[in-house]
Amino acid sequence: MTEPLGRGELRALAIQRHASAVLAPLWVTLCLIWMRSRGWKLEGADETRELFRRLRRESSQPIMVCANHLTLVDSFLIAWALGDLGSFLRRPSSIPWNTPETRNFAHGFWQRALAWMARCLPVTRGGDRSDVAKTLARVGYVLERGDPVLMFPEGGRSRSGRVDPKSGAWGVGRLVRAVPDCRVLCLYLRGHSQQSWSSLPKRGERFHVSAVTLEPKSDRRGLRASVEVARQITRRLSEMEEQVLGAPEPGS
């Protein structure tokens, strides 16, 4: 798929995976307390969690959760939408890995430590191509092990506040094609008062959350196929958004 990981990198991933599971009662609980302390509430989480549980029960095939992206804490909110405290403590392996932008999350010691514990594989957008390829290889590895992974196929927080159906980070399509039997769960999450992109949702925010499965396919080959798969995913997210917000205004 991508360049193979060395033994040291595989060992580092195994240690991160194990430590994250052992420390889950601490960091998952703290994250949930923090989100609740901000008064955030999810609407539609029961159906989303049931779908996620069903997918995991049905088979051990990899699951890539592909979501829209508006705030810096989306990965926490999305994990919360996929499971409650009890389910994550019983099965820490069901907590999705994610790939935050290095510049947002991994520049200070404590942030790096939290990101490491919370199953993050930081990536620098626009960074050295070999580093990006290495992160994709790590994501592919954890997917193949059966752990879910959260990706943002728009490649960053939407500057327009809406999903751009023509966007699509090619790396997402590349992973979906490269990891055998990878299933895609499209997840749409948005605060009712969220107008555009931001760092944090406002206090007391209520979030709409919904999820559907998708089987993206392409008859093309190589890079073009990966781009097409990524754009099928963003198109689906855009359709989910239209169900919540209505169609975007022409020219917007």
Partner 1 sequence: MESAQIGERVAKILEPYVKDTDAFAKRSDTTKILDDLKVNSARLVDVILAFEDEFDIEIADEDVDDVETLGDCVRLIAARLS
Residues in contact with partner 1 by the rule CB under 8 A:
2-3, 125-130, 132-133, 155-156, 167, 169-170, 174, 177-178, 221-224, 226-227
Give all strands of the β-sheet with 206-214 in edge-to-edge order: 41-43, 206-214, 183-191, 63-67, 149-151, 97-98
- 127 vs 204, which CB is nearer to partner 1? 127
- 10 vs 223, which CB is nearer to partner 1? 223
| CB of 11 vs partner 1, minimal distance in Å | 23
| CB of 107 vs partner 1, minimal distance in Å | 19
> In angstroms, rounded to a whole number, what is the distance separating the alpha carbons of residues 144 and 180?
8
Residues 6+ apart with CB under 8 A from 214: 66, 184, 185, 186, 232, 233, 236
Contact 126, 40 (CB under 8 A): no
- 83 vs 168, which CB is nearer to partner 1? 168
| CB of 75 vs partner 1, minimal distance in Å | 20
> In angstroms, rounded to a whole number, what is the distance separating the alpha carbons of residues 9 and 19?
15
| CB of 169 vs partner 1, minimal distance in Å | 7
- 2 vs 102, which CB is nearer to partner 1? 2
- 165 vs 191, which CB is nearer to partner 1? 165
- 78 vs 230, which CB is nearer to partner 1? 230
Nearest to 209 by CA among 50, 2, 19, 48: 48
> In angstroms, rounded to a whole number, what is the distance separating the alpha carbons of residues 127 and 18?
28
| CB of 176 vs partner 1, minimal distance in Å | 11
